[in-house]
């Protein structure tokens, strides 16, 4: 009996140590992981990247520009958020919230990941909050997204579901090695490597150009469609307080933006792309459909720190 008890006891330390380490990893990470809500519903997950309130998530989680965004923290706080930058091709977005005592998770070096390495995901699948799943790295693949863009993805057997998008993939040390993006065929989950996220963030200018408006893609009226030989434009559906505070009255609710800085804007993503390339310009020339008339106006921009 004594020998059996001793043998049983000696077989448990490793699983027990692993379990304790996983619990500690989760407890450290949980305050940095948020549930992102749009239009009152849980849409995905985000992770606090910097204590100043910057949160990383997927672009597709917050793709609707006109939808209000809220983030729910594990301590019960719900804060309003706004998108300060996005990269639809990489499926990344940066949100910004104003709050105290925000804890950021450290980013690990995803370029050092090895096949077979243990990884964890924390998110909100199907609206269930702060669910932990575990798996191993199955592959690290390069994917050509366009002629000018090739990027990497981490594939693993970590279990993901709708609601996990935008949450962190963590290594055994509890550092971010990826941002979970989707499920890739069968049971393979895909994450954007943390070094890809860091490289994108490092390439962003300190200041960004914004218009201070809420927008949505709309179909053009028949007359404009025939004249311009295009199907859609971007309508102004709201004027934000920061634009009103600066008495910038050159845009009106209902205006449909057709061209900005000489480039056509057929949907919200193309407008955001033009703004990202505007190099902190104080005004932009725009062609606008207003009251069924096509007019050209110089529109003042807002330059804000990221």
Strands 69-72, 78-87: pairing kind: antiparallel
> Other CB atoms closer than 10 Å to residue 246's CB: what's the count?
11
Catalytic residue among 32, 138, 165, 278: 165
d(CA 304, CA 302): 6
User: 91 an active-site residue?
Assistant: yes
User: 60 an active-site residue?
Assistant: yes
Please give the distance of CA 243 from its chain centroid, rounded to a whole number: 24
Q: Residue 203: exposed, middle, or buried by beta-carbon count in 10 A (0-12, 13-18, 19+)?
A: exposed
Report whether 79 contacts 71 (CB < 8 A).
yes
d(CA 87, CA 75): 30
Catalytic residue among 32, 59, 60, 195: 60
User: 242 an active-site residue?
Assistant: no
Catalytic residue among 85, 91, 255, 259: 91
Nearest to 233 by CA among 294, 152, 165: 294
Active site residues: 60, 91, 165
């Amino acid at each position: 009996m004594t020998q059996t008890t001793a043998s049983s006891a000696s077989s448990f330390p490793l699983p027990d140590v692993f379990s304790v380490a996983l619990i500690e990893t989760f407890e450290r990470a949980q305050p940095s992981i948020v549930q992102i809500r749009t239009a009152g519903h849980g849409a995905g997950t985000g992770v606090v990247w910097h204590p100043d309130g910057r949160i990383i998530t997927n672009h597709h989680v917050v793709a609707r520009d006109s939808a209000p965004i809220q983030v729910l923290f594990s301590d019960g706080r719900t804060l309003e958020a706004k998108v300060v930058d996005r990269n639809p091709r990489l499926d990344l977005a940066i949100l910004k919230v104003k709050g105290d005592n925000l804890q950021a998770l450290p980013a690990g070096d995803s370029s050092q990941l090895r096949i077979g390495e243990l990884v964890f995901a924390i998110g909100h699948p199907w609206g269930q909050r702060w669910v932990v799943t575990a798996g191993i790295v199955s592959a690290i693949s390069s994917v050509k997204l366009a002629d000018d863009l090739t990027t990497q993805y981490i594939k693993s057997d970590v279990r993901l579901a709708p609601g996990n998008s935008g949450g962190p993939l963590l290594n055994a040390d509890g550092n971010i090695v990826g941002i979970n993006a989707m499920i890739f065929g069968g049971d393979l989950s895909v994450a954007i490597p943390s070094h890809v996220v860091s490289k994108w963030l490092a390439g962003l200018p300190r200041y960004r150009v914004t218009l201070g408006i809420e927008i949505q893609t709309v179909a053009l009226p028949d007359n404009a469609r025939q004249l311009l030989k295009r199907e859609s434009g971007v309508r102004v559906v709201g004027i934000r307080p920061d634009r009103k505070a600066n008495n910038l009255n050159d845009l009106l609710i209902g205006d449909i933006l057709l061209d900005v800085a000489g480039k056509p804007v057929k949907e919200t993503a193309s407008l955001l792309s033009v703004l990202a390339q505007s190099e902190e310009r104080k005004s932009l020339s725009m062609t606008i459909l207003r009251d069924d008339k096509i007019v050209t106006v110089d529109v003042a921009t807002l330059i804000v720190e990221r």
